[in-house]
Amino acid sequence: MALQAFMSRSSSLDGCNNTKGNPNAMTGSARFVLVYHRQPFEEYEENGEVRLRPHRSPNGIIPSLKGFCASLPDPSEAVWLAWSHVDTDEQAGTILGEATVEAQKETPLRVVRMGLTREQVSSFYHVTSKAALWPILHGFPGRFDYDAADWEAFREVNALFAKAVCETAATGATVWVHDYNLWLVPGLVKAQRRDLIISFFHHTPFPPADIFGILPWREEILESLLQCHRVGFHVPRYADNFANCAESFCRAQPLRRQFVGKELAQVGSVLHQASYTSILRYKDQICQLDAVPIGIDTALIQRTLRKKASQQKVGEIRRELNVEKMIFSVGRVDYTKGTCEMLDAFERLLQREPQWHGRIKLCLTSVAPSRGMNVYEDIQDDIERRVGHINGHFSKLSWSPILLFTQPIDFETLVSWYCAADVCFITPLRDGLNLVAKEFVTCQSGRAGVLVLSEFTGAVIELDEAIHVNPYSSRSLDRGLSQALVMPREEAIQRLQAMEKRLLRYNIRHWTRKMMQLLRPGTRKDD
């Protein structure tokens, strides 16, 4: 759950203006097309009228990409292409028109919406993407469900996105496609519009060839991505895994290796990678690979921290919890997040160190999945059962060990919770990056909180001063949590300051500048 303000000038539509009339009025006008499946707002109905509002639970990608669009030399020439629900098959794949939101204060962002039926969204996203692709990307082949996947529906939706790109992009425009559920868009666009400069950014992990090869559609996916001008990843390991897959399954030829700067070369990390393949040749196409971990909006967090209301909320949280140590963890219901493993570690702490009874509380945000995400129902049941068991076994009249949130926490409230925490416990079994860890460090500026971070998150290569734990090892989790609770204040401050300095330098603005440079045609990674 990343942090981003949604500024609004128009109260009539919560900061979003619908543009009605001829939807083809914008066709072919965009010099930059950002393609992501989700809109940068939510649609809801009020008094029979469809209105728009900020996402109640934005993932890390949306606010970051809004900031990127706001930083373009001419944001008015850019559009964000996403889906919107429609009721009939006849409306599917049609461009419904534009909405305008504020990417940042006084910077409008044009959003082009392409219609998908609820059946298409369910098959393409809730089932195929989450039941077949997601487990492979995160290294859980045992959860791969080939029978549930509808690859024809996945192709169909990707083709509709590609069609919308071709209708929206001006001649010679730059198209930037985001994330795995739009894997086929680059190849489909390139087949129709060779004048376009197409790039892709991968926000999840990318697995090694022996796991990615489980996908029956591996060559089709790779051949599409190899049509890109550039393919970006958060960390070098994932870029190299992609290059190895492209070489193994498509006979792509590696042409150059890129050495990693010291800011991404934390030796000893599971994800440490000193260099990666940065240029591939596939047939007559040159594809360049980038490893640029996305930053957070540190300036926004700092502004929010300075607000009197934020500081008052921190005090309220501490008073209401009334414990010496508050452990905070933020995530959503997903087997990759390691939430059950974290809860088991907390239970073992209470069993092993009874002196903490009544003096400690775990505050856990595990946002329930959207409707239709049946693949996560068993995980949600497991989490709630563990929380109930621990509270039932250890609670006293004046104290319960766990506070569970299943609904999203708004931006300013989340900042205050980060500030109030003594320990942030982040234990994914696999994660592309994890912005929560970065947000906690930034919110702790001037404080002495301790970050306990899974060594299987991409962010670990930037946050070397965190306590790194192996979420597959009970001993590692136990040792890390106990160490965090008794760490001397001076050591905690030193660790935080080192991490904060790095995050301030490599923030969202640095990432935006870097990506703007790389996305320019003809730019090389090592220029």
The pLDDT tens digits of the residues spanning 473-515 come to: 999 999 999 999 999 999 999 999 999 999 999 998 899 889 9
Domains and CATH numbers, the chain: 11-295+509-519 (3.40.50.2000), 298-505 (3.40.50.2000)
C-alpha 262, offset from chain centre:
24
Give the pLDDT score at 266.
62
Give the pLDDT score at 12.
27
Strands (E), 339-483: 360-367, 402-405, 423-426, 450-454, 467-469
Give the pLDDT score at 92.
87
Please report which confidence band the pLDDT of residue 2 belongs to, taking 50, 70 and 90 as the band edges: very low
Residue 11 has pLDDT above 50, yes or no: no
- Among 145-154, 406-415, 416-425, where is mean pLDDT lowest? 406-415
Please report which confidence band the pLDDT of residue 371 belongs to, taking 50, 70 and 90 as the band edges: low
Q: Across residues 41-68, what is the average pLDDT? A: 70
Please report which confidence band the pLDDT of residue 63 belongs to, taking 50, 70 and 90 as the band edges: confident
Please report which confidence band the pLDDT of residue 5 belongs to, taking 50, 70 and 90 as the band edges: very low
Q: Across residues 145-155, what is the average pLDDT? A: 93
Which tokens in the block code for residue 504?
Answer: 């301030």
**Three-state DSSP state, 465:** coil
Measured distance CA(368)–CA(360) in Å, rounded: 25
- The percent of residues in the chain predicted with pLDDT above 90, rounded, is 69
Q: Across residues 67-87, what is the average pLDDT? A: 87
- Among 148-162, 312-326, 375-389, where is mean pLDDT lowest? 375-389
Give the pLDDT score at 55.
62
Q: HSE on the CB side for 431, CA within 13 Å?
A: 29
DSSP-derived secondary structure letter, 179: S
Mean pLDDT across the chain: 88
Beta-ladder partners of 108: 102
Residue 43 has pLDDT above 90, yes or no: no
The pLDDT tens digits of the residues spanning 412-453 come to: 899 999 999 999 999 999 999 999 999 999 999 989 999 999
Residue 145 has pLDDT above 60, yes or no: yes
Q: Across residues 260-281, what is the average pLDDT? A: 83
- Please calculate the CA angle 120-124-130 and round it to the nearest 5 degrees: 140
- Among 88-102, 261-275, 433-447, 503-517, where is mean pLDDT lowest? 261-275
Concatenated DSSP letters for 247-279?
Answer: HHHH--EEEEEEEPPGGG--TT-TT--SEEEEE
The pLDDT tens digits of the residues spanning 16-30 come to: 444 333 333 344 789
Q: HSE on the CB side for 143, CA within 13 Å?
A: 20
What phi, psi does 316 have (nearest 5°)?
A: -65, -40
* pTM beyond 0.75: yes
484, 423 contact by CB (below 8 A): yes
Please report which confidence band the pLDDT of residue 372 belongs to, taking 50, 70 and 90 as the band edges: low
Q: HSE on the CB side for 461, CA within 13 Å?
A: 26
State which of 32-46, 244-258, 262-276 shows the largest mean pLDDT: 244-258
**Three-state DSSP state, 506:** coil
Measured distance CA(70)–CA(79) in Å, rounded: 11
* Distant-in-sequence, close-in-space partners of 175: CB < 8 Å, separation ≥ 6: 32, 33, 35, 165, 169, 186, 189, 196, 197, 198, 199
